[in-house]
Structure 1
Amino acid sequence: MAVSPDFKNDLLGAIPSLRAFAVSLSQNADRADDLVQETLVKAWDKHSSFQPGTNMKAWLFTILRNEFYSQMRKRGREVQDSDGIMTGRLAVHPSQHGLLDLDDFRAALARLPEDQREAIILIGASGFSYEEAAEICDCAVGTIKSRVSRARTRLQEILNISGEADYGPDAISAQVMGSNVA
């Protein structure tokens, strides 16, 4: 079906009003121009659904408004990452090794004497100072320091840790992950 000359003229005549409305919605001239263009394309494509004699400006404004909110919803689900930095940071070490290490640590922690386990949890996991931990345990600060030191040594023995290389990602995983991060 051919587009009537009146439809074309009314469409062209509405452009300044559409642009002003688009700028008020998007707060950005470039996005407003894109919105108006998309609105005109959709109106042209659906010209057969327009009822002659009704308010074309209202019809066009409805199309523009719906397009604006559709784009906003879509943008809410998208992340701009044209240089790939965000994508590069999405790479993570495999979690299964960490879970196995955590299971091993929990088992080793359970093997500690109660006073050492309590001290290392208060200092290492709960973030208390030695003074606060000593007050909680109702003992001297030196006693807490000694318990924590013995607990750390015992955990290293149980877990067979001799240095930093014995925990965290293995060398191959670290190298692969290091090459993906910008």
Structure 2
Amino acid sequence: MTSGPEPEIRDALLGAVPSLRAFAISLCGQVDRADDLVQDTLLRALSHIDRFERGTNLNAWLFTILRNLFHSEYRKRRREVEDPDGSYAGRLKTQPEQGARLDFEDFRSALAKLPAEQREALLLVGASGFSYEEAAAICECAVGTIKSRVNRARSRLANLLAVDDVGDLGPDNMTRAALQAAG
């Protein structure tokens, strides 16, 4: 079992609490936050008590720790954006990865529900980038047939995925290409 600080240091730490608390309140203006700062200061001081030089001013050392903690947290909070209702997060340009993964799984499931000829035509034209003429040659059918299959596949996918507008599409380029490939 480890022993705590020596009795005179323990008493000096406890004696400094009212002054530390008053200083913390003056820095942050909130009693609860000030109490947290004092507690963090004491914890930090106790964990680094070996760095305290005997014969120097303990209160000055504690006030320095408190001040440094306050400024470190202030800098950290300044970089953080408070967003209680999620409106800021909703305007972010980068979508979370898990959403794209779920969208892709929905897309794969909907794609599997298409008739084989429509799925093949859509993948050739929309995802693989072949022209209608090239896709028609690959499928050994008329260009009009490929255009019709791609159009039906796009409409069916949009219906299955509840996509009413191109803006409803997720950030996934493969999904977007498959649904709106130009011909």
**TM superposition score normalised by structure 2:** 0.49
**TM superposition score normalised by structure 1:** 0.50
Instruction: Tell which has more relative contact order, 1 or 2 (C-alpha 8 A, sep 6+).
Output: 1
